[in-house]
Structure 1
Amino acid sequence: MTDMTTDNEFCTFRLDHLTFGIEVHQVQEVIRPQALTAVPRSNPVVQGLINLRGQIVTAIDLRRRLELPERPEGQEAMNVVVRTPEGEVSFLVDEIGDVVHVDEHSFETPPDTVEGVARELITGAYKLDDRLLLILDVQRTVQLPTAA
């Protein structure tokens, strides 16, 4: 039986007009825009590789992964570096938010407004005072579909 008073902590970030969250324990660090090295013939959602203190980390453009509009010209992407069983991966996001505490009782299924591939990658949502926090499934997000 789980403790009914449990609160969950999420690192939040924005993409387009949406607010997403990743469980804090899955986030290694949040860093400013980094130089990217292109990866020829890679999946289109792979923006490139970043050198993180000597460690090579794949950078996934979450706008492309979630089939959102492209990032506006001149807007640099921030990096949310997440831990996965296969190693670290950087998610490129528009803007970093705060770490928020949410009551697990306010968890809901993904709203009907979330469509397409995003629906498969979001485990649910929390209603915050001024917005909806969409919870991203890190493991599913890093598993890129193979090109047909």
Structure 2
Amino acid sequence: MSALSPQDAASATAPGFGNSLDYVTIRVGDQLLGLPIGRVQDVFIANRITVVPRAPDEIVGLLNLRGRIVTAICLRRRLGRSVTLAPDAQGLIELTAIGIDHGGESYALIVDAVGEVVRLDRSTLEPLPVHLDRVWAALATGVHRLADELLVVLDLDAVLDLDLDTAA
């Protein structure tokens, strides 16, 4: 399932939208997070993941997405949260994933839930709060105060920049 039509992706960077920022919203636990819309390629359910021995904890495994080998990364683990996976009645574990390309590689960012696409005024983007957890602060670029909650904007380059040299 594709998250965006080509027209939606083009309008995110089209002239006339210079004062707005567009995000695909996701949830990890109760926290609302925003992913820059221009970086999101797919939203899909992943249920056939091959575990990679000795991979870092954040890497759930590998999956085949329309003929591409994709590295699945658990955003919950990346943000330092605990993970509990419960199989459905058939014994399958279905995970909600966001397809992202980074450095010429394909990734599936495993999230708790996908929300909607939001357009926010650029002027409402604020710096990170000083009391934000240091792990979260290293993976975020700013926040937007919404009517009833805080939207933390993730830096996808930082999220996907796993230090694989120390994983061996």
**Does TM, scored on the shorter chain, surpass 0.5?**
yes
Task: Determine if contact 2:19/2:123 at 8 Å carries over to the other structure.
Answer: no
1:102 aligns with 2:120: yes
> In structure 1, what is the equivalent of residue 12 of structure 2?
none
> Offset at 1:84?
1.4
1:127 aligns with 2:122: no
1:68 aligns with 2:81: yes
Aligned with residue 62 of structure 2, among 24, 30, 49: 49
User: Identity of counterpart residues, as a percentage?
Assistant: 34
What's the TM-score, normalizing by structure 1? Answer: 0.89
The structure with more radius of gyration: 2
Runs of 4+ in 1 over 6 A off after TM superposition: none
Task: Determine if contact 2:47/2:94 at 8 Å carries over to the other structure.
Answer: no
Unaligned runs of 5+ in 1: none
> Please, what is the CA RMSD of the aligned residues?
2.0
What's the TM-score, normalizing by structure 2? Answer: 0.79
What is the alpha-carbon distance in structure 2 between the residues aligned to residue 99 and residue 78 of structure 1?
16
Q: How many residues align?
A: 146
Query: What amino acid maps onto 2:63 in structure 1?
Result: I
What is the alpha-carbon distance in structure 2 between the residues aligned to residue 103 and residue 15 of structure 1?
24
Unaligned runs of 5+ in 2: 1-15, 88-92
Moved more, 33-42 or 98-107: 33-42
